[in-house]
Amino acid sequence: MRPRRAIGGHAARRRAGQRRRLLFAACLTVMLAWGFGFIWFMQILKQPPAPNAAHTDAIVVLTGGSLRLEAGLALLAANTAPKLFVSGVYTGVGVQQLLRLSRNQPEALDCCIALGYAANDTRGNAVETAAWMKSEGRNSLQLVTANYHMPRSLLEFRHALPVVAITPHPVSSPHVPLDQWWRKPATGLFLFGEYSKYLFAYARILVSPIIDFLSTFKKP
């Protein structure tokens, strides 16, 4: 007959082994889900953009590269919207400077451009744009940003502007080529980071109603 202490030690080791196996299985499941999700994310990025709306109330450009501004100005010049809003502009930068940076004629379109200086990130872009759209009484927009940034931008904008019709206008970045991204570790790492940011933003938006509900029970 085995001593009780030996039996108890064996049972404890068995439980510890089961916990380790469960932890390993959980980690493996998360990693596989994350990996397959990344493949899905890349397929979305490679999809051809939908045709632009014939006309919207506004064009919104998120700062981060001159190509985005050039694309927004081209849409404005094509009369696809009466006003262009640039969100996330550095303090002190004006319309004339932005036009010069984008190699457009400063006198051509500065009458139809508004700048937002409050946003520091994508969530801030959405909040800033929502306030501007409300103040302007506008109900539809074309969203201009980099193709790799578009999924997260749409997520934030549709959350902040639930009743506004949003047409995406993704801009390809020469610095982040999507073709054969796996051949360039730096590009792959960057895209994986953007995918992770998308997931974190999705999770935050998903749980925000619960957090808001629970906050109502806090004591004053």
Q: What's residue 179's pLDDT?
A: 83
- Report the CATH number that the domain containing residue 81 is assigned in CATH: 3.40.50.620
Q: What's residue 108's pLDDT?
A: 59
Alpha carbon 162 to chain centroid, angstroms: 16
- Which of 77-86, 115-124, 156-165, 173-182 is the least confident region? 173-182
119 — phi, psi (to 5°)? -80, 135
- The answer to whether residue 46 is domain-embedded is no
- The answer to whether residue 44 is domain-embedded is no
157 plus 101 within the same structural domain: yes
126 plus 211 within the same structural domain: no
163 plus 71 within the same structural domain: yes
62 plus 167 within the same structural domain: yes
Task: DSSP for 154-219, please give it.
Answer: HHHHHHH-TTSEEEEEEE--TTS--TTGGG-HHHHHHHHHHHHHHHHHHHHHHHHHHHHHHHTTS-
- The Cα 60–Cα 86 span in angstroms is 6
Alpha helices in 78-184 (DSSP H): 95-101, 106-109, 122-136, 150-160
Q: What's residue 111's pLDDT?
A: 80
CB 81 within 8 A of CB 75: yes
122 plus 63 within the same structural domain: yes
- The answer to whether residue 43 is domain-embedded is no
109 plus 194 within the same structural domain: no
Q: What percent of the chain has pLDDT over 70?
A: 80
- The Cα 62–Cα 41 span in angstroms is 21
144 plus 194 within the same structural domain: no
Q: What's residue 174's pLDDT?
A: 85
Q: What's residue 180's pLDDT?
A: 80
102 plus 166 within the same structural domain: yes
- The answer to whether residue 99 is domain-embedded is yes
- The answer to whether residue 176 is domain-embedded is no
Q: What's residue 220's pLDDT?
A: 55
Q: What's residue 11's pLDDT?
A: 65
65 plus 138 within the same structural domain: yes
Residue 6 has pLDDT above 60, yes or no: no
95 plus 149 within the same structural domain: yes
Highest mean pLDDT out of 24-33, 99-108, 149-158, 171-180: 149-158
Each residue's pLDDT tens digit, 15-70: 766 777 777 777 777 777 777 778 888 888 887 766 666 799 999 999 887 789 88
- The Cα 113–Cα 92 span in angstroms is 16
Q: How many domains does the chain have?
A: 2
- The answer to whether residue 1 is domain-embedded is no
Q: What is the pLDDT averaged over residues 79-86?
A: 94
Q: For residue 138, give its domain range.
A: 58-171
Residue 84 has pLDDT above 80, yes or no: yes
- The Cα 97–Cα 91 span in angstroms is 12
pTM value surpassing 0.75 = yes
CB 112 within 8 A of CB 83: yes
168 — phi, psi (to 5°)? -75, 140
